[in-house]
Every structure is written in C-alpha cells, then in structure tokens.
Amino acid sequence: MSQPPPFPPNAQYGGYPPPPGQPYPPPAGQPGAYPPPSGYQPQYVPQFPQSPNPPPNSGYYQAPAFAPSQQYYQAGPYQAAPQQPYQAPAYAPPPQQQPYQSSPYPPPSGPPPSGLPPNAAQNTTMPPVSPYAPPVDLEPPTIYYRDTIIHNPRFSGGLNVVGYTKDQIKYDIDQIVKAGGDEKKLVDILTGLGPLKMEVLVHEFPQHNDKGETLYRRVERKTTGNVEKALLGLIQGPLKYDADLVKDAIRGFGTNESLLNEAILDHSPADIATLDYIYLQKYKKHLSKEVADDLSGNVLKLFKFVTDPSREKLPAANATAEQRQKLLEEDVEALYKAGTGRVGTNEDKFYRILTCRTQDHLVAVCTHYKAKHRKSLSTVIASEFGTSNHDAKALLFIVQGAEVSEKPHLAAVSPLAIRDAILLEETMKGFGTNNSLLITRVLRAHWSRPRMEATKQGYQRVYDKQLTRRVKGETSGVFEHLLLRLIGEGHYS
C-alpha cells in the first residue's frame, strides 16, 4: 500500500502542506468584513496546468483555483471568503515518477488525411489544427466537492494523480488480492487512500484480474456487515456516495427527511451542479426532478431553491464592506418582518434568505438577529414553523450550523463543527447504536480532513470526551478499527 509522506503539520494552512516543491497558497484574509466566526482552509492540492486566467466564478464551474464556498469549520474572527489565485505545479515529475494517467485519445492508425502538403504548417502564420488532436476540454481535471478535491466527472482527459505511479497502483491492487478475506488488512489498505487515488484504483482494478472483477464486487464478496457497508461507501467516493444517499432518502414510500437534509442542504450551487451531473448519469433523472417528485407543499418550495444549480449565493465574493453590511441589515429586517413582526409567516422569505446566502453571511445574520431582537433565529423558526414539519427541520438544520453558541466554552467553536458533533452523538446515544447512520456521518466527514478535525474538536468541547473514545465504547472488532482509521488518521495519501 502506498504511504503518505511524513509531512510536518502547518498551522497556517490547516495542517495540510502542498505537494513537495509547491508553494503554499497565500494566507486567507480580505479587508472589509463583518464579524464573527469563519472557517478553515481545505487541503491545497493543485493538479492541473497553469492558465493565465482563472476559471469563471459561476455555479457550474468550480475549480481548485478557487477556495470552496464552505470554509467554515475552524473558529476565528469573521472574514469574507478569499479568492485564491490560480496556481499549479511549475514542474513535471521526474521520469521514474510519472503519474498514472488514463488515455482516452489513442491516435488513429494509418496516414493523416490528405489535403495539406507535408510542410504546410511551416508555410503558414497559423498552423492547421492536427486531425489527431483531442478536442479542447474547458473543464479542469479536478474540482472541489464539499471541501474535497475529486476528479471532475465532466473532464474527458482521463484520470491523473501526481505521484501515484502504475507500479504503486499495481502494488496496492496486489495487496488487496493477497488480503483475501482478511477484513483488517483490507481496511488498512483502503482507508489509506484519498478520493483521487481511490478512483484511479477502482478504474484500474478490473484490468488486473482475468474475470474483470471490480473492486466494489471483490470487497462485497470478501467482507460482511458494517465493515462491508463502510468500505463500499469509501470505494464510491464522496460524489457517488451522496448520489446514493439522495436516492435512499426518497426511495419507496415516504421521505427520509433527515437523510435528505444532510445529503444536500449544505451544498453550494456548484456542488449541486456536480451532484446533478453524476445523479443523471446513474439514475437517468435530474436531481431536482427526483426530489421535487417526492416532496410537496412548502418544503417543495424550499428544496427547489436548494437543488437549483443557478442559485446565486450572496453576498458576492467581490462585494464591498458597505454592500455586505447593507445586505446583512436588510436580511435581518426581512426575517423579522416575515415571522415575529407580522401575523402569520412569510415562509418564502425564510426559504430564500436561508438557502441563498453564503455560510459566513448566515453566521453574521444569526448573530445580528439575536443581538437586535433578543431572540435566536432557531427559536423563531421553531415558533413559526413548529419542529415536526419537514421544512422546519430543514431550516433548523441550516440555522443550527450558523448560530454561535452562548456557552463560553463553545463560543469560539464553529457552529458547523458543533452541529456535526451533536449529529454524531445522536447515532450512539441511548440503547443501541445506529450503525448505518454512524457510517454515513463518519464517512462524509472523513473525506474532508479539516471538517473531521474540526468535528473532533467540537465533540471534545461539547461532551468533554474524545470522539474516538466514544466510538470505542459503542463498537468493536474490525468495525471499530475501521471507524477509528476514518476518524483518527491525520492524513491519507
């Protein structure tokens, strides 16, 4: 199994250094911001050629050149989310370390088409386009999805992981085969791979056995129970796993409301566009259509906002301090007039504001609302919408990830980290453990290491005990070992 390099932690960049020889991104920070807490920087892993121009900042295109929209797990003074400059490796790896890359463009056999003399390219100002050149792909090879760098499913140029050579891939595959039904060995191998390497391994695995067996099928045959369920989720990766979560939430009679809320409510418009793309490939229906067909009434209006990839989240990244402050005051006043300040409730106003604002702005709205009206937004929502309706649960899920705790020992902890810690505890408290939900929540946090580290710290603050210790008390055997690997490992390769 390939091992991650022993990088020393780096506090300024969340403890995750760039590849050897690469520069760190510039420190976060941008003038013109309003208080309070903001977030973390995701791991910085540039993987595509440098371009003189950054990609456009639209809902359908989100490349690693830009910081993702959900940088909110690490406490600190509020700052507007910075735009990262476009950076990429300035070198090619040495020959012995050339990365694995699948090649979808084999050149056609035979001579090139006639019509141009042999030296035509030398006799013209602009050389003709080669008939063998691959089509221009405007998509980057990797993108951010929920704070995690993944292969872009729209990119047609093949998979490419710097430093993961064909020899290393073959070694990992051989180790998996040698492990047979030894679940602990399989856990150690597969939990050591990040999403980029895992997808390459999944792609290559069938080519290394006579039957063309997939990695998914092999793990399915060689493992059982909770270990099988967790490893199969890990193999899918964050994007396909979320697509299955949405499908599971709306499958059959009724809706699994909490699962649907967790599966997509935190997503940026770019995340929704990417999820819709893979959902359509797998289930032959658009995400928004599937969700809309399963819902009705007011909650349908809310999820129409959430599943719209063209939804704009305000304030814009280039908004001035005055514009941010103006929007903040307008939103606080609009929410008051839509709820407590009137007879009845203007549900649409709550839906639009709480789903079409950036996370850092929502934190400011919740803080400012309580300071001005002496009542938290979560209290207002519970009063106006109740607590049992699906739209109420969805709004509370959003707001609970943005309300700074009044408790002194939690005031400096990100609301998102506290919310995630509480959700993990809910899977283990009481009689018995909800292992399926525990797997889901641990896996989704694991793929974003800064999120997992922040959640662990949040759990420690809320419950005065380590998350790993709590998991040890609720699980055993290889399943316990697997969860501890997902929770406790500081790095994967």
In tens, the pLDDT along 468-487 reads 999 999 999 999 999 999 99
Contact assessment for residue 184 and residue 231, using Cβ atoms and an 8 Å cutoff:
no
Q: Residue 253's pLDDT is what? A: 87
What stretches of 339-434 show up as alpha helix (H) in DSSP? 347-355, 359-373, 377-385, 390-400, 415-426
Which of 29-33, 65-69, 223-227 is the most confident on average?
223-227
Domain positions in the chain:
31-102, 414-493
**Span 323-348, mean pLDDT?**
96
Contact assessment for residue 459 and residue 466, using Cβ atoms and an 8 Å cutoff:
yes
**What is the percent of the chain where pLDDT is above 90?**
68
Q: Residue 71's pLDDT is what? A: 39
Q: d(Cα 201, Cα 215) in Å, to the nearest integer?
A: 8
Q: What is the per-residue pLDDT across 416-426, written as a single tens digit (0 to 9) for each? A: 999 999 999 99
The pair of three-digit structure tokens given for residue 387, joined into one six-digit string: 């607590």
Mean pLDDT of the chain: 80
Q: What is the per-residue pLDDT across 194-218, written as a single tens digit (0 to 9) for each? A: 999 999 999 999 999 999 999 999 9
Classify domain 414-493 at the CATH class level.
mainly alpha
Amino acid at position 97, single letter: Q
Q: d(Cα 442, Cα 482) in Å, to the nearest integer?
A: 10
Q: 91 or 459, which is more confident?
A: 459
Q: What is the per-residue pLDDT across 49-79, written as a single tens digit (0 to 9) for each? A: 333 333 333 322 223 333 333 434 433 333 3
Other C-beta atoms closer than 10 Å to the C-beta of 413 total: 24
Residue 385 has pLDDT above 80, yes or no: yes
Residue 377's SS3 state is helix
Give me the helix-helix angle, 467-474 and 415-426, nearest 10°: 10
Q: 430 or 173, which is more confident?
A: 173
**Span 264-274, mean pLDDT?**
97
Residue 441's SS3 state is helix
**pTM of the complete model:** 0.75
Q: What is the per-residue pLDDT across 275-304, written as a single tens digit (0 to 9) for each? A: 999 999 999 999 999 999 999 999 999 999
160 DSSP β-pair partners: 101
pLDDT band for position 438 (cuts 50, 70, 90) = very high
Residue 112's SS3 state is coil
Q: Residue 132's pLDDT is what? A: 55
pLDDT band for position 343 (cuts 50, 70, 90) = confident
Q: What DSSP character marks residue 205?
A: G
Q: What DSSP character marks residue 405?
A: P
Residues sharing a CB contact under 8 Å with residue 465, sequence separation 6 or more, in sequence order: 459
- Tell whether omega for the bond before 36 is within 30 degrees of 0, i.e. cis: yes
Q: 14 or 221, which is more confident?
A: 221
Other C-beta atoms closer than 10 Å to the C-beta of 415 total: 26
**What is the percent of the chain where pLDDT is above 70?**
71
Q: Residue 138's pLDDT is what? A: 85
The CA–CA distances, whole Å, from 339 to 137, 334, 336, 394, 490 equal: 48, 9, 5, 17, 44
pLDDT band for position 6 (cuts 50, 70, 90) = very low
Contact assessment for residue 474 and residue 429, using Cβ atoms and an 8 Å cutoff:
no
Q: d(Cα 54, Cα 32) in Å, to the nearest integer?
A: 23
Q: 95 or 490, which is more confident?
A: 490
Pairs from 324-329 (Cβ < 8 Å, separation ≥ 24) = 324/32, 324/33, 324/34, 324/80, 324/361, 325/34, 327/361, 328/34, 328/361, 328/364, 328/365, 328/368, 329/368
Other C-beta atoms closer than 10 Å to the C-beta of 22 total: 17
